[in-house]
Amino acid sequence: MEHTWRWFGPNDPVSLAEIRQTDATGIVTALHHIPNGEVWTIDEILARKAVIEAAGLTWSVVESVPVHEHIKWGGPERDRAIGNYAQTLLNLGEAGLKTVCYNFMPVIDWARTDQRYELDNGGFAMRFDFIEHAAFDLFVLKRVGAEADYTPDEVERARQFFESADEATLAALSDTVLLGLPGSEEAYDLESLRAGLALYDGLSAHDLRENLGVFLRGIVPAAEKAGVRLAIHPDDPPRPLFGLPRVVSNADDAQWLLDAAPSWANGLTMCVGSYGSVATNDVVAMTRRFADRIYFAHLRNVTIEADGKSFFEDGHIDGGSDMVGVIRELVREERRRADAGEDAAVIPMRPDHGHFLLDDLKRPTYPGYALVGRLKGLAQLRGVELAVTRTLEYA
């Protein structure tokens, strides 16, 4: 596999020079300064590519070209935004960038409730507490009709949390939910979040899925022409939030997506932590089933808590998913592609959502994107990959 590293551009606290020292060779990044829905020009793409290459690295994956909200809910700017997205893909292909990771999560991107969950070893991880999320939804956001999305017991537990929490705790919770985590498309305050959610009033999972189909059929021809492989990222977490449907949450969703626009250009990102945060998703079986359409891998792990809905970011080779099994399937697929003489035989992967460890605690760090924590994860994952590769060679 190609070992890559998420970099958020010139303002990222982790520099390209530091990334080189991790032994990652590829960069995963995006042009975050360009507004959602606008075309990425060739000049802008080449300028960012030149910065990366000057540091001795390769821009391997675009993550992500954001999908405009009008595409997701079917707003009046949908056709224009789809056209701009298609043109961006053509420009990326012309610039030599061939893998694009994106997501189709409405309004709220990946969601957590705690950026500093303390671990037994003294480090910190991110966490999603379902009851704290419910408390924010019910008693901070005060979303109309929210109680219908929770059981009476969950509502009562959320109420108890809200009433016992001090101002600092509630402020930290609100900041984590509203202000946008790295890679999120938008940041919100309470009023703008309510306005964003209102656009989806009455939109069912079927409607959202159909809008995804319209989007795919609008951009896949451009991706084919550009030689670009699209790799959709699953919902994180893969369950409805704030009354919003989710449509990239399990194997059935993945199959629907691939069938909606049959093409080699229409593929998947295997995010082990996202799919693995619901116990019914067998990530090894999913990796095996969809191997030939997996174009990118986020290798991270989570531990699901007793309620079945909360989880925390565990070590990359710990947690509830069989990371060794996932890597074995990816290595097998790379060998199949190489033997068949296919393009893109090597699958880029990155260590995702590292713990806050050691010097990470003393330096500015984006939530989930600590230097030392990801370095540890990359070292562990590379060791697993090497062991799997050697085992297959000796078999």
Domain range summary for the chain, segments of one domain joined by +: 2-111+203-394, 127-195
Selection from 63, 130, 51 nearest residue 369 by Cα: 63
User: Any idea which residues carry the catalytic annotation?
Assistant: 233, 271, 298, 352-353, 369
Per-residue pLDDT tens digits for 144-160: 999 999 999 999 999 99
Which candidate, 194, 200, 148, 140, places its Cα nearest to that of 171?
140
Distance CA 256, CA 369 (A): 32
Per DSSP, 360 falls in state G
The CATH number of 2-111+203-394 is which of 3.30.70.260, 1.20.120.420, 3.20.20.150, 3.40.30.10?
3.20.20.150
Q: How many CB atoms lie within 10 A of CB 23?
A: 12
Q: Tens of pLDDT along 61-88?
A: 999 899 999 999 999 999 999 999 999 9
Distance of alpha carbon 42 from alpha carbon 56, whole angstroms? 21
Across the strands, what pairs with 229? Answer: 99
3-state SS class at 304:
strand
Decide if pLDDT at 31 tops 70.
Answer: yes
Structure confidence by residue, pLDDT tens digits, 121-150 = 999 999 999 999 999 999 999 999 999 999
Does the pTM surpass 0.85? The reply is: yes
C-alpha separations of 301 from 197, 237, 267, 304, 386 in Å? 29, 13, 22, 10, 19
Instruction: Give the β-pairing of 266-271 and 229-233.
Output: parallel
